[in-house]
Structure 1
């Protein structure tokens, strides 16, 4: 019964050319983005911002699921309706980020391990009772001189696999997110090599921990040069390398790959997702869609600025970016699409 539930939910999250909205920023991250725009960093302003997001009209036309944070999943609209119920009523599947962040990895001073396994079983049970149907855990991998180490890759991959096992035990679809960071001056080729190694290590651990592949989703980075690299490859090269990497490492049984934006601008993230689907969608075994956070939210946040009178225009911006990414999922994010919207 749980197996069928997991598979059905995973498939629903990537159905109908839709994607995921990641609104799971930690308090610290959300406050940092607020501070940059002069928005007060209070729990009430965070609640108002999230209310603006979840009440965006017709968001479900492009968004199948929303990833929440522990603070957000417990919050309500001004009228007392829980955000969980707002999403469910809109036909959007609620999910929850369950890791507690990347911490220094003992023995590896330049690398990090994502923590949060302690007490996870009981937290997953609580989130499930609240209405969540999937979860997310993010591991962060740096590229540098001698990095990533084998110890870092194996520790983070094992943690991802144990998290996934606990999720599936609780009936929640795990989104497995091993992110190779864009920070630094590493080359395009280095990103390809490291991402390939990361994904092979992750799936080796998922296999060892008896993870049901049809009841999970993968959230990887695209193959990109470091932000400070002198050579920045074009969109077509990025699309080809990303698909090459995925084909070499990701089993066909996985129903969907939901790319993270990873610091890309809203426009670049959509353009690159479009290039991947435009050329390869018809020949790949998995759905290729989006699970963007900043690349979906940032234009809306910059318009909202904490002022309730800006709510409508901010919601229009969020709805537009969601439509752009649904078009990219179909390989239709082009000049014709932009003129139509």
Structure 2
């Protein structure tokens, strides 16, 4: 982590692109891009195709530091190269700060939440990320019901691993996603805010985190989290909303910026000409940037 990276993430105008679909979600990401499962014969071929898709995005002139602060990468993307450079170094040279997804997926649902699976070899992965000049990490949990004890366990797990990441010299993105279709979404978010606030208040002054949260039902609910001294930035996931809907909701929340995945790449397809692809990406980038910096 460099001071230049920190200043950009903390104070820059723009959003963070999420390009971190992993093993379980890669087939769907490729299918949405126009590449069906019968077009590859192995996991290696699948990951090569998704890296080619990400390379096309990252190298596009529409993907630039004027509007994109950072990009979240899957481990294999970090370890592969773009135009002869490791992906994270290519992004740094472009002025886009690299992050790394470190979780290994979700455990089975229990008491209305999904904790993260155990993350084996995390210390080694964090060391490799530092060598690749990565700034921070991301890890996702999932909350589906307003169960206070279970939500507290989600936050506890996130911050416990977050402290391990901080000790390695990186900034963790804590991501306890609230399912957008939860019947009691607003109640879940009130509980989650309370639990995150408790966890933040226990951190030392030099223990800094980022938060990645579902856009709240009640606008500006997370204002106090955005302003918390231990929080570098709060970003929002699109969570299955369409890009237009996610942008509309994001605009209602002061200080909250996007970290969209599906909503970023919705209109990108493998069979597009380079001109069509760049235009589709530019339109997405422009609209998400506008929603991140121009509020109602």
TM-score range, shorter chain: 0.7 to 0.9
Q: Matched residue of 1:178: which SS?
A: strand
1:312 aligns with 2:275: yes
Q: Matched residue of 2:85: which SS?
A: coil
Q: Show CA shifts across 1:65-84 (max 9, x none).
A: 0000011111223x433222
**Corresponding residue for residue 47 of structure 1:** 51
CA change 1:73–1:259 in 2 (3 A) is: same
Does the CA contact (< 8 Å) of 2:17 and 2:260 recur in 1?
yes
CA change 1:80–1:247 in 2 (3 A) is: closer
Structure 2 counterparts to residues 185-264 of structure 1, below 5 A: 186=183, 190-208=184-202, 210=204, 212=206, 215-224=208-217, 241-243=218-220, 245-247=221-223, 252-253=228-229, 254-264=231-241
Name the larger-Rg structure. 1
Name the CA distance, whole Å, in 2 between partners of 1:161 and 1:7: 23
**Corresponding residue for residue 134 of structure 1:** 136
Give the alignment's Cα RMSD to 1 decimal: 2.5
- Displacement over 6 Å in runs of 4+: none
User: Which consecutive residues of structure 1, in runs of 5 or more, have no partner in the other structure?
Assistant: 225-240, 278-286, 334-341
**Corresponding residue for residue 105 of structure 2:** 101
Q: Alpha-carbon deviation of 1:50? A: 0.8
Structure 2 counterparts to residues 61-210 of structure 1, below 5 A: 61-77=66-82, 79-104=83-108, 108=110, 111-143=113-145, 148-184=146-182, 186=183, 190-208=184-202, 210=204
CA change 1:205–1:68 in 2 (3 A) is: same
User: Which consecutive residues of structure 2, in runs of 5 or more, have no partner in the other structure?
Assistant: 38-45
Does the CA contact (< 8 Å) of 2:238 and 2:259 recur in 1?
yes
Structure 2 counterparts to residues 296-335 of structure 1, below 5 A: 296-300=264-268, 304=269, 306-307=270-271, 310-331=273-294
**Corresponding residue for residue 293 of structure 1:** 261
Name the CA distance, whole Å, in 2 between partners of 1:273 and 1:200: 21
CA change 1:111–1:192 in 2 (3 A) is: closer
Aligned length: 286
